[in-house]
Structure 1
């Protein structure tokens, strides 16, 4: 932005509320005014380290007064430097405010949120939320799978690329992959909304909801907590491609799947401690042979 002001310490004096009435009135009518107000509001609302914007600008002002010989040069760049400093600080804290938790292959972690709610994150999954917005909006973004124990309070939202879940206080599991969205309620009541489906459902204890390739499914279960938290992953009439994705996330392996029908359904479970046993448990009943092409790549062929 071009500097329309003759005084290079203009922004510093504005932050210190040292402008005279005429300067203040003219500045508030300018196009730049609202831009700086927006930046300052962002900084004030976000949780940031100990940073005193007035002190920084006072330092700039004092240095300018101590070095009058470079006044002509500073007049040209100070306005831009001050504006850039504000913008960079505002943008840094605006974007850096997001807290991210992620798991690796075969890893699980437990996360305590700001309100005391608890999230158990399954392997190769990611959870994000903004601390500054938490009091006004309890919202998290999930990639992968997680089990939630939500404290009662304001509306709690789990956003995913395939759908969202809204609750007040309950326990539930969410599993989201490409073209796949599954919610199982263990306690309380949740609303599940699939992005690729116009249907939304209210789930109570033991109710489950799934949207897979735009096909909506509902069923009931007696499971109170997901078995993956205890070292075993369980599937109920689940598309094979989701089962394979689970194996990849758990054991850090990949599959050649072009010779099989990944839309076939599987009901059963596999143990996290033994990859060979897991492969037998899933593929032998489905009459699919598996061959290790190398240590981490497996070729699947229909028998």
Structure 2
């Protein structure tokens, strides 16, 4: 079969911008052109450093030379296409790869980021970020709760399903669940942006929350989250979030059909003793709790 292009490095030269006018016009009319443009567009959408086409050209050309065969049922020019495709797909997955950290029930881990910033991840939480573009784009994605100690530098962005936090260098806590977004500033200044575009600028001791489409602000004297030291504290927090915290800490579930999960709780519980934690939260709220089995508890309003 005749090579439809002028030589085996045709596609590599296209990537490098080295085609002459005649070659370029002919190629842009082909079906292959549309396919390769689709791949290039996919790569261009990546949040990654700009790749160098001349390096790709050299790598692909070397690949073609290594894989060239004198006799084959497959035409030689197809190896060039395959090499180009593999190189592009390889770039796509390399630049799109994220580093992810997760915690189990009752577990906390400390993560050192590439710029020296530190993240303490609370139980049943997940943090991910891309190392490849960290110098240009300090951005992490969070599900659950974490305490951040951010080194000064370029903008630092925390993205969550319920809202975002933007800072330069500071210490703050983020707790995000479905229909719940809470940010407490412990040092410096942060900008919290909840869903529905609710936002606030927070300085040390200020807190911001969006729960069930309701925006709340309050003050706290704490210098760091209490959960880091083994005790979780709540300030006028919906009971639904308090229960969610208990589930993540002790690996238990609750039957909540007979209580109002929207009522508010202010107080704390200790991570060491589940019985004491249940008594501390539910007795003042006049809610009885009964173990249905080892890992399930039934709640009933008294």
> Is 1:46–1:93's contact at 8 Å kept on the other side of the alignment?
no
Q: Is 1:296 matched with 2:295?
A: yes
**Match of residue 111 from structure 1:** 111
The number of aligned residues is: 292
CA deviations 1:2-28 (Å, max 9, x no partner) are x842544533566799x7746765578
**Match of residue 58 from structure 2:** 54
| Aligned-partner Cα distance in 1 for 2:139–2:19 | 44
Matches within 5 A, 1:158-197: 158-196=158-196
Closer, same or farther: CA 37–52 of 1 in aligned 2, 3 Å: closer
| Aligned-partner Cα distance in 2 for 1:300–1:36 | 54
Closer, same or farther: CA 23–9 of 1 in aligned 2, 3 Å: farther
Q: Which runs of 5+ in 2 are unaligned?
A: none
Question: Tell me, what secondary structure is at the counterpart of 2:210?
Answer: strand
CA deviations 1:178-227 (Å, max 9, x no partner) are 1001111111111111113x432111111111110001111111011000
> Is 1:8–1:74's contact at 8 Å kept on the other side of the alignment?
no
**RMSD across aligned C-alpha pairs, in angstroms?**
2.9
| Aligned-partner Cα distance in 2 for 1:179–1:40 | 33
CA deviations 1:58-83 (Å, max 9, x no partner) are 2433442xx3221x523474254223
> Is 1:43–1:90's contact at 8 Å kept on the other side of the alignment?
no
Matches within 5 A, 1:143-222: 143-196=143-196, 198-222=197-221
> Is 1:9–1:78's contact at 8 Å kept on the other side of the alignment?
no
CA deviations 1:97-152 (Å, max 9, x no partner) are x1111111111111111111111111111111112222222111111111111111
**Match of residue 68 from structure 1:** 70
Question: Tell me, what secondary structure is at the counterpart of 1:173?
Answer: strand
Closer, same or farther: CA 56–152 of 1 in aligned 2, 3 Å: same
**Match of residue 245 from structure 2:** 246
1:37 CA displacement: 5.8
Question: Tell me, what secondary structure is at the counterpart of 2:232?
Answer: strand
| Aligned-partner Cα distance in 1 for 2:247–2:48 | 44
| Aligned-partner Cα distance in 2 for 1:156–1:177 | 21
> Is 2:13–2:57's contact at 8 Å kept on the other side of the alignment?
no
**Match of residue 232 from structure 1:** 231
Q: Is 1:266 matched with 2:268?
A: no
**Match of residue 93 from structure 1:** 94
Question: Tell me, what secondary structure is at the counterpart of 2:62?
Answer: helix
> Is 1:143–1:176's contact at 8 Å kept on the other side of the alignment?
yes
| Aligned-partner Cα distance in 2 for 1:185–1:179 | 20
| Aligned-partner Cα distance in 1 for 2:177–2:94 | 30
> Is 2:12–2:56's contact at 8 Å kept on the other side of the alignment?
no
1:244 CA displacement: 0.3
Question: Tell me, what secondary structure is at the counterpart of 2:285?
Answer: coil
| Aligned-partner Cα distance in 1 for 2:66–2:191 | 58
